[in-house]
Amino acid sequence: MTKTRLLAKYSVLLLIGVIAVWQITTGNISFGSALLAGIIIASILLGINSRQIIQITEKGMNPYDERVWAVAGKASYAAIRLFAVISALIVLLGSIWGPQIMVNPYDLLGIALSCLMFMYVGFYYYYNARM
């Protein structure tokens, strides 16, 4: 991992940290605390990942070989396909039988993105174990 990419990742975490502190100072303590917890978890995982990449590189291996790209490609394709089908079914069934409710679009996008990311991670580990 290059220093530029690492700097970009930590800059994004710093920006989210500033937003978290701002949210806490304006009175939205639960959202700010959740952002801070997410930053802590993300920075720990980023550190572990960087350490593993350095260890693999020191052994003379390429951490980003063809197998990694194949697994990531299969996982992303499967996650997007499943997400699209499930979303289409939810919209179809909701438009037919669902009640008319107002949903905050930002909350809905956040839920949708988190579901998509969880599906991607699940498919990644599934294909990583199978290949």
- The residue ranges of every structural domain in the chain are 1-63, 65-131
40 token code pair: 């802590």
* Region for 62 from its dihedrals, namely left if φ exceeds 0, alpha if ψ lies in -120 to 50, beta otherwise: beta
Query: Mean per-residue pLDDT for 11-28?
Result: 90
pLDDT of 93: 72
Residue with tokens 């959740």: 34
pTM of the model: 0.55
Average model confidence (pLDDT) across the chain = 83
Residue 126 has pLDDT above 80, yes or no: yes
CB 21 within 8 A of CB 32: yes
